[in-house]
Amino acid sequence: MINWQTFEFETRAIRAGQVRTAEGEHSEAIFPTSSFVFNNAAQAAARFSEKEKGNIYSRFTNPTVRNFEERLATLEGGERCIATSAGMGAILSLCLGILKAGDHIVASKNIFGTTVTLFNTILGKFGIRTSFVELTDFDQWEAAIKSQRTRLLFLETPSNPLTELADIRALANLAHQHQALLAVDNCFCTPALQKPLALGADIVIHSATKYLDGQGRCVGGAVVGSQDLIKEVYAILRSGGTTMSPFNAWVFLKGLETLSLRMKAHCDNALQLALWLEQQPLIEKIYYPGLPSHPQHELAKRQQTGFGGLVSFVIKGGREKAWQLIDSTKLMSITANLGDVKTTITHPATTTHGRLTDEQRQAANISEGLIRISVGLENIQDLQADLVQGLRN
């Protein structure tokens, strides 16, 4: 049995978790089967009673999915991973696995708009309440905790789309002082740039749809943590069916193979674009942790090994000018997805955060002039040239 933690990140991203079949395949195999055959009735009974490990049914046991889970777990430094049908499926499975009626969540105001809806509208129906706080204000996090009722602190860092950062270690310590858990959505950094578990977090959430895939091909999610915690999440997946397909798991495995190289390239391009945008007269404000002007620049240097691929900025002229700039682009893809090798551009106030109320958007600092660019791997001069027309007065 190989101890993958003795190998470097790039090697684990390519090799970890693979179990070759008798066919001797070099690439990972795909097992597109709904069920698995047992040698006899006794083995079937042993598998279903969990006295014997092995495959049963692809809703909760599949070799390709397990390969992806084991590889991502070792990259994040976690004991176990559960792969899900989507990033939102990962968050839902986590919450249903560890929370009950009467429990309380403290979450950042800056999380994905659909996560806000999930917490308020869906979990709220079952008596799970959520308090929202400013991501960067430690005192608000502390004040929002309601003694033993608070079971979970939840955040994205960097946030989408403003790239604000929270001090993971400080919030992990706070959560543990109150017997609560800290869950960090690591979608925008990935384990190539940030290791929340090593900083004290209990759970890492992923939308594998984004950088883990890297080419916008499939939808999926994952939860990483200790054996005990993930056991509770697995119970939800097994009975609730928030399951990743074998084909999607195989695609994500291929994405992980190039994750380290891609994230370095995303960071390089994003920093160059951010520095260029700083010089444009129509830009009121720019959000990118790699800039010394970013309020959490020093924290980003300590907590991350790169600054990520998201660049957001506010353009003078509000929604009208923002839409004009977006519509003027010919190369960038106008889509709300991110993490792709192709650069994407969107207007958060009317897309990713469009379902929030005006008050919620204002609280999250999502203005009408805000534009988010997920910087891809095209030539940086071509990306700059694509924005020039829209940045003219």
Q: What is the CATH number of the domain that holds 301?
A: 3.90.1150.10
Long-range contacts of 280-284 (CB under 8 A, 24+ apart): 280/391, 281/393, 282/315, 282/316, 282/317, 282/321, 282/391, 282/392, 282/393, 283/313, 283/314, 283/315, 283/316, 283/391, 284/313, 284/314, 284/315, 284/316, 284/369
263 close to 309: Cβ distance less than 8 angstroms? yes
Q: Tell me if residue 93 falls in helix, strand or coil.
A: helix
Q: Tell me if residue 252 falls in helix, strand or coil.
A: helix
Tell me which of 18-27, 238-247, 370-379 is least confident: 18-27
| pLDDT interval class at 280 (50, 70, 90) | very high
Domain membership flag for residue 24: no
Domain boundary residue, one of 202, 231, 257: 257
Residue 154: enclosing H or E segment and its boundaries?
strand 150-156
Domain membership flag for residue 18: no
Of the chain, the percentage scoring pLDDT greater than 90 comes to 90
* pLDDT score, position 40: 97
Domain boundary residue, one of 257, 285, 316: 257
For residue 123 the two structure tokens come to 């979990």
Give the position of tokens 């097992």: 31
Domain membership flag for residue 13: no
Domain membership flag for residue 92: yes
Answer yes or no: do 135 and 157 share one domain: yes
Answer yes or no: do 289 and 266 share one domain: yes
Tell me the average pLDDT of the chain.
Answer: 95
Domain membership flag for residue 7: no
Answer yes or no: do 346 and 358 share one domain: yes
Domain boundary residue, one of 224, 257, 290: 257
Contact partners, residue 240, CB within 8 Å, separation at least 6: 93, 96
Distance CA 189, CA 191 (A): 7
Domain count, the chain: 2
Query: Which bin fits 102, alpha (ψ -120 to 50), beta or left (φ > 0)?
Result: left
Distance CA 227, CA 210 (A): 25
For residue range 165-203, what is the model confidence (pLDDT) as tens digits?
Answer: 999 999 999 999 999 999 999 999 999 999 999 999 999
**Which residues are registered as beta bridge partners of 182?**
153
* pLDDT score, position 262: 98
Answer yes or no: do 336 and 380 share one domain: yes
For residue range 221-239, what is the model confidence (pLDDT) as tens digits?
Answer: 999 999 999 999 999 999 9
User: 283: burial class by Cβ within 10 Å (0-12, 13-18, 19+)?
Assistant: middle
* pLDDT score, position 355: 74
Domain membership flag for residue 337: yes
Answer yes or no: do 276 and 227 share one domain: no
Query: Which bin fits 135, alpha (ψ -120 to 50), beta or left (φ > 0)?
Result: alpha
Answer yes or no: do 282 and 243 share one domain: no
Residue 333: what are its φ and ψ, rounded to 5°?
Answer: -90, 130
* pLDDT score, position 140: 97
Residue range 249-268: mean pLDDT, rounded: 98
Domain membership flag for residue 104: yes
For residue range 114-162, what is the model confidence (pLDDT) as tens digits?
Answer: 898 999 999 999 999 999 999 999 999 999 999 889 999 999 999 999 9
Residue range 304-313: mean pLDDT, rounded: 98
* pLDDT score, position 393: 62
* pLDDT at residue 356 tops 90: no
* pLDDT score, position 303: 97
Answer yes or no: do 252 and 275 share one domain: no
User: 1: burial class by Cβ within 10 Å (0-12, 13-18, 19+)?
Assistant: exposed
- The range of the structural domain enclosing residue 181 comes to 29-257
For residue 229 the two structure tokens come to 């915690």
Residue range 73-78: mean pLDDT, rounded: 98
Distance CA 374, CA 210 (A): 10
Of the chain, the percentage scoring pLDDT greater than 70 comes to 100
Answer yes or no: do 64 and 205 share one domain: yes
Sign of CA dihedral 308, 314, 319, 321: negative
**Alpha helix (H) residue ranges in the chain:** 9-15, 41-48, 63-76, 87-98, 113-117, 124-125, 138-144, 168-177, 227-240, 246-257, 259-277, 297-303, 318-328, 358-363, 380-388
* pLDDT score, position 364: 77
Answer yes or no: do 132 and 185 share one domain: yes
The pTM (predicted TM-score) of the whole model is 0.94
Residue range 283-309: mean pLDDT, rounded: 97
Distance CA 245, CA 31 (A): 9
| pLDDT interval class at 110 (50, 70, 90) | confident
Q: Tell me if residue 284 falls in helix, strand or coil.
A: strand
Answer yes or no: do 194 and 72 share one domain: yes
133 close to 144: Cβ distance less than 8 angstroms? yes
Answer yes or no: do 265 and 246 share one domain: no
Answer yes or no: do 383 and 267 share one domain: yes
390 close to 324: Cβ distance less than 8 angstroms? yes
Q: What is the CATH number of the domain that holds 79?
A: 3.40.640.10
92 closest CA partner among 174, 177, 205, 182: 205
Q: Tell me if residue 31 falls in helix, strand or coil.
A: coil
Contact partners, residue 112, CB within 8 Å, separation at least 6: 156, 160, 185, 352
| pLDDT interval class at 112 (50, 70, 90) | confident
Domain membership flag for residue 67: yes
141 close to 133: Cβ distance less than 8 angstroms? yes
213 closest CA partner among 243, 187, 237: 187
